[in-house]
Amino acid sequence: MKNVFFAVMALAVSFTETRAADSPAIVPMPQHIAYATGEGAVLSAGSRIAVPGGAKALRSVAELFVRDICREHGLRLKVSGISESGIVLGIDPALRAEAYSLDIGQGRVAVTGGSPSGLFYGLQSLRQLISQYGMRLPAVHVEDEPCFAYRGAMLDCCRHFFTVDEIKTFIDILALHKLNRFHWHLTDDQGWRIEIRHYPGLTKEGSRRAETVLGRNTNIYDGIPSGGYYTQRQIRDVVAYAAERFITVIPEIEMPGHASAALAAYPWLGCAGEGYMVRTRWGVFPEVYCAGKDSTFEFMENVLAEVCELFPSEYIHIGGDECPKQSWTSCPACQQRIRNERLEHENELQSYFVHRIEKWLNARGRNLIGWDEILEGGISKTATIMSWRGADGGVAAAKAGNQVIMTPNTHCYLDYFQTQEPERLEPLGIGGYVPVRKVYSFDPYDRLSSAEQSCIQGVQGNIWTEYIASFAHAQHMALPRLAALAEVGWACDRRDFGDFTRRMTVFRKLYDKCGYRYASYFFDGTGE
Say which of 322, 376, 452, 528 is annotated catalytic. Answer: 322
The verdict on pTM exceeding 0.75 is yes
The Cα angle at residue 422 between residues 417 and 427, in degrees rounded to 5: 80
CB count in 10 Å sphere of residue 222: 12
Q: Which of residues 144, 177, 202 is at a domain's end?
A: 144
pLDDT at 6: 34
- Let me know whether 118 and 162 are in one domain: no
Please check whether residues 140 and 168 belong to one and the same domain.
no
Which residues span the domain enclosing 42?
2-144
- CA 139 from chain centre, in angstroms, equals 33
Tell me the C-alpha distance between 390 and 481, whole Å. Answer: 18
- Judge whether 334 lies within some domain: no
H or E segment and range at residue 503:
helix 497-514
pLDDT reported for residue 10: 37
Residues 361-393 pLDDT 10s: 999 999 999 999 999 988 889 999 999 999 999
Residue 495's nearest CA partner among 26, 4, 29, 47 is 29
Which CATH number do you get for residue 10? 3.30.379.10
From 144, 159, 194, the end of a domain falls on: 144
> 78-82, 167-171, 179-183, 290-294: which has the minimum mean pLDDT?
78-82
Is residue 246 in some structural domain? yes
How does residue 16 score in pLDDT terms, banded at 50, 70 and 90? low
Q: Which domain CATH number covers 295?
A: 3.20.20.80
Based on the fold, state whether residues 122 and 196 are members of the same structural domain: no
Query: Is residue 383 located within the same domain as residue 499?
Result: yes
Q: Do residue 91 and residue 238 come from a single domain?
A: no
User: Does pLDDT of 18 surpass 70?
Assistant: no
What is the mean predicted confidence (pLDDT) over 282-292? 98
CA torsion, points 131, 134, 139, 141, in degrees to nearest 10? 20
Cα separations in angstroms, 254 against 25, 73, 370, 423, 511: 40, 42, 9, 32, 33
- Cα–Cα–Cα angle for 161, 164, 169, rounded to 5 degrees: 100
Residue 3 has pLDDT above 60, yes or no: no
Do β-strands 181-185 and 150-156 pair in parallel, antiparallel, or remain unpaired? parallel
Query: Do residues 129 and 171 share a domain?
Result: no
Q: Pick from 220, 215, 204: which is nearest to 261 by CA?
A: 204
Q: Concatenate the DSSP letters of all residues of 290-345 into one string.
A: -SS-HHHHHHHHHHHHHHHHH---SEEEEE--S---HHHHT-HHHHHHHHHTT-SS
Say yes or no: 261 and 178 in one domain: yes
Q: What is the pLDDT averaged over residues 182-198? A: 99
- The verdict on residue 384 lying in a domain is yes
* pLDDT band, very low/low/confident/very high, at 84 (cuts 50, 70, 90): low
Domain count, the chain: 2
- Indicate if 322 belongs to the active site: yes
Q: Domain boundary residue among 121, 144, 167?
A: 144
CA 415 to chain centre: 14
- Collect all residues with Cβ–Cβ distance below 8 Å to 39 and sequence separation of at least 6: 12, 13, 105, 106, 107, 139
Q: pLDDT band at residue 492, thresholds of 50, 70 and 90?
A: confident
CA 513, chain centre distance (Å): 22
Residues 59 and 183 placed together within one structural domain of the fold: no
Pairing of strands 32-42, 136-144: antiparallel
Q: 215: left (phi > 0), else alpha (psi -120 to 50), else beta?
A: left
